[in-house]
Amino acid sequence: MTLSETVQITQYLLAGAIAVQSIEFLVQSRDRWLALRLILCLMLLYPPAASVAVWGLWLFSLAQLHRFDGPYNGGSDKMTLLILTCLGLYHLAPTDYWRELAVSYLAVQLVLSYFVSGYIKIINADWRAGRALCDVFRFSAYPVAESLRDWANFPRLLCAMSWGVMGFEVLMPLALLNPLTLKFGLCIAGLFHLMNALLFGLNRFFWIWICAYPALIWFQAAVVHPLVGL
């Protein structure tokens, strides 16, 4: 996959993810500006207009941060803005070197999003004992239905799930060593986001994280593989 193909696929995925976010807002607020955001999503599908669309959507995301005095949807808004920034810089970059750097930054941040998240859990005794995930189900605001709180009654299962999540997150950088392990790692990551979307209602995380996967696949092939060669 070439760099320009990577960016094009990312833009297609991003158009879908942001369009769904916009329709969710539109249903609630009837804000006419959101119609313009949907038009920009359509423009993302047309390569000659993609640069303008990316920066237009970037400005929307910035305005949204001001409107909600911070992210509306936590990490998913941050990832949306990060992807838009990297794509925007790609389109502005004067040479291939700077274009590669912009996409590489996105790939590195994607790996860090898993590794750091796993590391800060694994150094916490409550996570290692499975108590933290029990608490998530027992009293946090995240389960999407009261019936899911019963999962807190299965501490051994949740302890195993905690280790599964922490293990996958901290080992994610190693998946970069080989194209096959990366594809396997991304499938596990996608499944992890899918479970978070179903159980905790984090649907925006599922769609927006997938948007960054092509950047990581390109990064592995173009940057890591020549260095490591496995």
The footprint of another protein (CB under 8 A) covers 20, 23-25, 27-28, 62, 65-66, 68-75, 77-79, 81-82, 85, 109, 112-113, 116-117, 120-121, 124, 126, 132, 135-136, 138-141, 143-147, 194, 197-198, 201-204, 206
∠ CA(201), CA(205), CA(207), 5° rounding? 105
Residue closer to another protein, measured from CB, 5 or 150: 150
Torsional class of 87: left (φ above 0), alpha (ψ -120 to 50), beta (otherwise)? alpha
d(CA 115, CA 103): 19
Based on CB atoms, which residue is closest to another protein, 25 or 178? 25
Q: Write down the least CB distance from residue 146 to another protein, Å.
A: 5
CB of 5 to another protein, least distance (A): 25
CA distances from 74 to 35, 94, 118, 129 (A): 23, 33, 18, 27
| Shortest spacing between CB 41 and another protein, in angstroms | 15
Give whole-number Cα distances, 174 to 13, 98, 111, 113, 167, in Å: 25, 26, 10, 14, 11
Nearer CB in complex with another protein: 141/227: 141
Q: Using CA atoms, how far apart are residues 144 and 161, in angstroms rounded to an integer?
A: 18
62 versus 157: smaller Cβ distance to another protein: 62
155 vs 179 by CB, closer to another protein? 155
Least Å distance, CB 114 to another protein, is 8
Least distance CB 112 / another protein (angstroms): 6
Secondary structure E strands in the chain = none
